Amino acid sequence: MTAAAQTKPFAEREVTITRVFAAPRALVFKAWTDPQHLAQWWGPKGFTAPVCEFDARVGGALRIHMRGPDGTIYPMQGVIRELAAPERLVFNSVATDTAGKPLLEQVTTVTFVEQIGKTTMTMHSRAAAVAEAGVGHLQGMEAGWTQTIDRLQGFLARSA
């Protein structure tokens, strides 16, 4: 997170979701790191990802624009901080308004553990609203991540 977020965020929130998928770890990891896969499930129910770029390497950039059911675009960009295939992924991201002004900064850590052909994924996201308009995004963070992981589960069921 930036110094601004660390010194005086408007609000902060953390969400952790653990889910067991009936899919091999390599596939679950690829779903998170291959932009063609990521675009098929990223975002809450009813959302699409018309822009989905993910440079799967440490220091690589990510850029995702979610489109809500009402057509509103929610841009996000970030950087891959850790990538240990197929065990761990850490990325920073900044959600902006359509003018590019930062609203929310996040650090997301995802771990993948395979056991007997199933994968336990744990996603932990820590976010800070860096503008007053970002506070509303924090309020929907748990529901948004839960619906996003539900969509991942559906994608994996079709892909496994």
- Strands (E) in the chain, as ranges, are 11-21, 48-54, 61-67, 73-84, 88-96, 102-115, 118-129
Please report the pLDDT score of residue 5 as a whole number: 43
CATH number, domain containing residue 117 = 3.30.530.20
Identify the H or E element spanning 33. helix 25-33
Q: 105-125 burial by CB neighbour count: b if 16+ within 10 A, else e?
A: bbbbbbebebeeeebebebbb
The pTM (predicted TM-score) of the whole model is 0.92
Of the two residues 2 and 15, the one the predictor is more confident about is 15
Q: How many CB atoms lie within 10 A of CB 12?
A: 13
Number of domains in the chain: 1
- For residue range 88-144, what is the model confidence (pLDDT) as tens digits? 999 999 999 989 999 999 999 999 999 999 999 999 999 999 999 899 889 999 999
> Nearest Cα to 156, choosing from 34, 35, 36, 41?
41
> In which domain, by residue range, is 78 found?
3-159
